[in-house]
Structure 1
Amino acid sequence: MSNKSRRENAGSKSNPFAECSTCKHKFKNERYIRCLKCPKFAQCIQCLSLGIQNDLHFFTHNFIVVEPPASRQLYRENWDQEEEILLLYGIKMLGLGNWGDISDFMQSKTALECETHYINTYINSTNAPFPIRKILPEEPLPPPPPFDTRTVESAPSEGHAMHLKEKGKREPTTPAEYSDFMPYRHEFDKDKDFENDGEILVADIHFNCRDEQSQFLEKVEQLKNYNRILTERRFRTAVIEEWDIHHIEITGKNKNNMTEEDFDAQVLKGITREDKAVDKKLISLAPYLGKEKTVNLADLLHNRQKKVSLIENRQMWQVLGVKSLHEGQLFNALNAKIKDDKIIPSEIDDWNDRIHKYNIKHGKSTSTEDENLLEKEKELISKENLSSHIYLVYKNLLIREFTIWGKLPRSKLRMMPKEHQRHLEAVYDLCVELGWIAAA
């Protein structure tokens, strides 16, 4: 029978044993013993501990402990004064929240009853942290949780042997498994987490009313430093989980040789050398931009880089006199086969075959552009070592600008890229000479 039940039973009827049968001590709300062989014999705890006996009662007789009658309620109908004191003392000694230990200490209330009573009577009081000074009705207990609360063997980390066996693995292959990541706690193993010795900062901190101001401030600063470590841990873990970095499979040849650049490309999907250079710079912003914005920005930059490379390639074709897309593709193929200014011997047969197929498909490349040029234009092209196509581009540009603005001073040519200025000036002089444009 629990202490609570015994007190209630004892308090429900009048007490016939008002005093100790040996020392005549009056019982007042205290425990005493009652002999099972001597019906009218009662004894206080002090006499029992000394083994005092009389002509009829011997200390070898069996006895029971009689609990004092229940004290009156103080704040709740189902909580008496003694229980209130035991609850508060238990919280002070065992710590707020350790309801199981507090329940064991009290013996008359369950952990749920202790927690519910303290929160509703003290914490949720309008006079918190003090209770309302009147006896409130009995507080109903909350319903049991809708999940299984029974204890089970803990295997929280993904690298636990049980989880690896479920996945059919003999050894860990992802960072989450290497680092013993615990997904439900959103934490890594304490020995593998960021600043894993951070708890040392607060391990021996105890605040005391006798602390000097400097000691108190030093302890507060230690707590702040520890909080910074916790904040950084949460931040880093949130980034890892958002990008799902910890589940990237790292196996085989790249298990120990995966470079930072390889990782950046794997996350942001860069392919070319230029894309990977962009990814390397962009990845440092990823924790602050978020995954969606970082991936979108990387895609935009990769696309821009692709177009820039395409434009530069086409400009090079123009400078070299490439007249068509097919010629340009042939030129690129040739470049890929050249090393140290020579075609790689193993690529010669392939190149000859490619040229043969090109001539069959496209025939000899001819152009009617030269046929429509004046002799002075042909002389200029030869003198300046220009292709007909590039010369016509320059000529069309100058005539178009003159038509739009009505004038085209020679000084305007200085605004053009330096690599084109000399040729543009030569074409400009010829156009002025032939009367196609007027010098300002």
Structure 2
Amino acid sequence: QKYHCDACNKDITYLVRIKCAICPDFDLCVECFSCGTELKDHKSDHDYRVLEMLDFPIFESSWGADEELLLVEGLELHGVGNWEQISDHIGTKNKIECADHYDRVYVQSDVFPSPVCHYSYGFEILKTSTKAQLPPPSRPLSSAPANHEIAGFMPGRREFEHEFDNDAEQQVKDLEFTEDDTPEEIALKCAMLNIYNTALSRRAERKKFVFDRNLIDFKKASRYKKRRPKEEKELYHKMRVFAKLMTESDFQVFMDGLLAELRLRMRIAHLQEYRRMGITTHRDAAEFEKERAIRPFFRNLNSAAGNSGSSSTIPTTPSYSTRTPSTSLTPAPLGGRKPANPLDVTNTDGVELLTEKECQLCSSLRLFPRAYLAIKDIIIKENLAHGFIKRRHVRSLVKIDVNKTSKIFDFFLEMGWITNVS
């Protein structure tokens, strides 16, 4: 027997329905009942009964209460023995199952003609068994600020406000199977459901990919990428399309191999560059890299000094084709020249890394903060390596005006950053 809502004509055969206790054969769906729908003689204040699905067992585990009612109705309509018609009336059992069930439960009952109920209350048993089959809920992600910074992500539900293919539900939200559907319409609706299931599968795959690799913690991922050189970042961006074809561990092994190969190629290129420039020892290579690193800072320094009339030149990279030690390439300022005005370093790059005294020193010596920091790094590292450093050693390391070098050396001694040996 089919049941339809008398208000919206919705099929509620297999749903919870509200039956009016006053109006005969008047059923409502839950939605219409909650709105207080009134039709003809039916009023919203009438008594009612809530009828749920009777799919829980009463006498045998394989027969639900709804099937038991249909069996009794079939016996009343067609009579005992007409099992073919009774099975058609039930719809879910064949004639042999109907006959065996009637004989076993009703005829052979110890309290004939009443059957023996083996279940205290089938609905509670069904509810308990269903609850036991549910997997334990996964522990939700902590509601840390990093999670909420991802727009639309809900860590407690492990869902996104805008899912992948977010409009997939729009195609099937009004889909409904009715008794009047033609085979072509049923096939079309099934095809739409298959398309929707495919969209759900693709959505689940992407969410699993995100959670398995902990991509929700985007700050950690960004910090990991920032530590890599530019060449390794470019390689990672090219290869990450293969991540969805591998597990996280396999992709990590794959990337480690490619990065190791890249580092070897870069190292070989550096060594070939040294050989073309005549550098044959590690000591010469280290000296070359040191001077090449600070060369841009001195270029900016000399550019500013040239604009203000200062006499300093850009240091040139010494030749490493011979082992002859290099000499200072910066001549001392000419005597009698008027000292240059202090340099304004207030808005220069790197000034936030200096103390007030260091800012005053850079201003008086007309040194840019970045150049000063490079010089400071070289001197302090040499002092840590040997435990002390001499003034003439500083002059050989830093190829700038010897007067500026002496003032920097004295300032570092005053601050206690280096140790001098007479």
**Larger radius of gyration between Structure 1 and Structure 2:** 1
So what's the TM-score if we normalise by structure 2? Answer: 0.43
